[in-house]
Structure 1
Amino acid sequence: MKTLIEKYGGVPTIAPSMREQKLDLDAPLAAFERSLLADDVHALACMTGVGTRIFLRELTARDPGLLERLQDVVLFARGTKPLQALKEFGLKGVNVDKPHTWREISESLMGQLQPGQHAILLEYGESPPAALRRELHSAGLRLTNIPVYRTTFPLDTGPLERAVWSCIRGEKDVLLLASGTQALHFLKYAEQIGVLEEARAALNQMVIVSIGPACSEVASDLGLRISLEANPHKMGILVRTAAEHATALVGKVAG
């Protein structure tokens, strides 16, 4: 990111906002194994490549034969990264429609499963929204969430704190978001140091560039206004979009 920003003539401030923290999977994996062996897993929704790899690696460590049982389960992937992770374990997945938000996951599950059937969702970072649970429940589907990992603050929060204060002082023009969780953690940290409303107001005076609809959806739920969105939804396009269009918007974004 730093190299790309500098290539386009920008001055980057890098502020890591999160790290992945693996959770204890012993109990969830035992429950999943029981359901799988009882033919009571009808779909598995894989949300991220990282989470899918962790889950399948630990599942294989319990019993390599369980991967073969998964061949009979419909495996949904939220984008190319979890799809690639499935392939690495010899599994075939179905990539949900773009833009790969919770809505497409919900639609895919409801389109595939019958009332009473059981879907497993591999969580990542944060729990799925209540709307997803309500939709599946209304369709008569059973849903089990397996939290594979959580995202927490980086061990060194110094750069993040400096970035929060720098934005509040009006020293930054553009915020690049590669995931909705980055926005969530930025505001969570601002709340932790007692400047949540000031930070939200400052961000809404900046040009916020999102990597895609899923990221934009989270940011919007947090009260942030997205100015630009990368299309296609890739890191290089994110930076290029900002480089080509953000300058004209700086100073014009209303809070």
Structure 2
Amino acid sequence: MDWFGGLKVLSLESRRAEEMATLIGKYGGVPVVAPSMREQKLDLTRALDAFERALAAGDIHALACMTGVGTRMFLRELAARDPRHLDTLRGIQLVARGNKPMQALKEFGLVGVNVAKPHTWHEVQAHLLTTLEAGQHAVLLEYGEAMPAPMLRELSFAGLRVTSLPVYRCAFPLDTGPLDRAVRDCVLGGPDVLLLSSGTQALHFLKYAEGLGLLAHAREALNRLVIVSIGPACSEAAADLGLRIDLEANPHKMGILVRLAAEHAPGIIEKRRLLRAG
């Protein structure tokens, strides 16, 4: 099998950029890796002050952990203030959005409840609505971007008190050169395939394009590519941005993402070519 067969494959991966480039090359693609974001830690002083007060008063009934990165950051700073806070958290419902926050909780000696697959905010919302009563207080650890407004609205309509606590934000990379070139190349018809391992990658690509005055062109260009998503949460975020997802990896792992794209993208591209010629 030729796999990608020389197709030009764009990835917006940041933390694992080198690994992604290697995988694309392994499957016969020409890798174009343009890091699209970096995790920018926020000052948690005021948020932790309020959390400590509520914790001491017994006024936190659930803590929703949305990512492994955010969970580790939060628990590290909370434990640095007073390690006994971790003991108090053992008496609170800890809700994890998937395996990564579950693993982060375990690293601090905590046990969480993993929501049902596909581990999107919808499952977190459903779990909280099922397990909490009106008037109870849920704290949500934000993950890179603000929590979805529909989620906050539904929880509030159910009578829950909700605190959305931002732990970090996703910013543009310090070196935006590769991202700049990727946007311009995409608009000019360069790549054939886009691999997405998070919805924030697509958001940042389009935000950067907007700064260049190329938003409409960039969105149109992306929808000409074969877009492959790592999982449901990523697919949902991309769809909200007006992007069409062609394939979705399952299990939701980077190696599966690349292999799936390599196996099916050439056929999808050929089918589209025949339809246009048709």
Q: TM-score under structure 2 normalisation?
A: 0.90
CA distance in 1, matches of 2:150, 2:71: 23
The root-mean-square deviation of aligned C-alpha atoms, in Å, is: 1.2
- Tell me which amino acid in the other structure corresponds to 1:138: F
Which residue of structure 2 aligns with residue 91 of structure 1? 110
Deviation digits for residues 38-64 of structure 1 (CA, Å, limit 9, x no counterpart):
000000000111110110000001111
- Tell me which amino acid in the other structure corresponds to 1:218: A
Number of residue pairs matched by the alignment: 255
1:134 corresponds to 2:139? no
Which residue of structure 1 aligns with residue 61 of structure 2? 42
State which of 67, 71, 74 in structure 2 corresponds to 1:55.
74
Quote how far apart the aligned CAs of 1:212 are: 0.5
CA distance in 1, matches of 2:74, 2:47: 10
1:115 corresponds to 2:134? yes
CA distance in 2, matches of 1:118, 1:100: 22
Structure 1 runs of 4+ aligned residues shifted over 6 Å read none
1:125 corresponds to 2:164? no
State which of 84, 95, 102 in structure 1 corresponds to 2:121.
102
Mapping of residues 1-255 of structure 1, within 5 Å: 1-250=20-269, 252=272
Quote how far apart the aligned CAs of 1:138 are: 1.4
CA distance in 1, matches of 2:31, 2:51: 44
- Tell me which amino acid in the other structure corresponds to 2:134: P
Quote how far apart the aligned CAs of 1:107 are: 0.3
Quote how far apart the aligned CAs of 1:192 are: 0.6
Deviation digits for residues 183-228 of structure 1 (CA, Å, limit 9, x no counterpart):
0000000001110000000000000000000000000000000011
CA distance in 2, matches of 1:179, 1:250: 23
CA distance in 2, matches of 1:157, 1:203: 19
- Tell me which amino acid in the other structure corresponds to 1:50: V
Q: In structure 1, the residue corresponding to 2:32 is in which secondary structure?
A: coil
Deviates more, 1:131-140 or 1:145-154: 131-140
Q: In structure 2, the residue corresponding to 1:98 is in which secondary structure?
A: coil
Quote how far apart the aligned CAs of 1:129 are: 1.0
Q: TM-score under structure 1 normalisation?
A: 0.98
Gaps of 5+ in 1: none
- Tell me which amino acid in the other structure corresponds to 1:187: L
Gaps of 5+ in 2: 1-19
Deviation digits for residues 7-64 of structure 1 (CA, Å, limit 9, x no counterpart):
1111100100000000000000010000011000000000111110110000001111
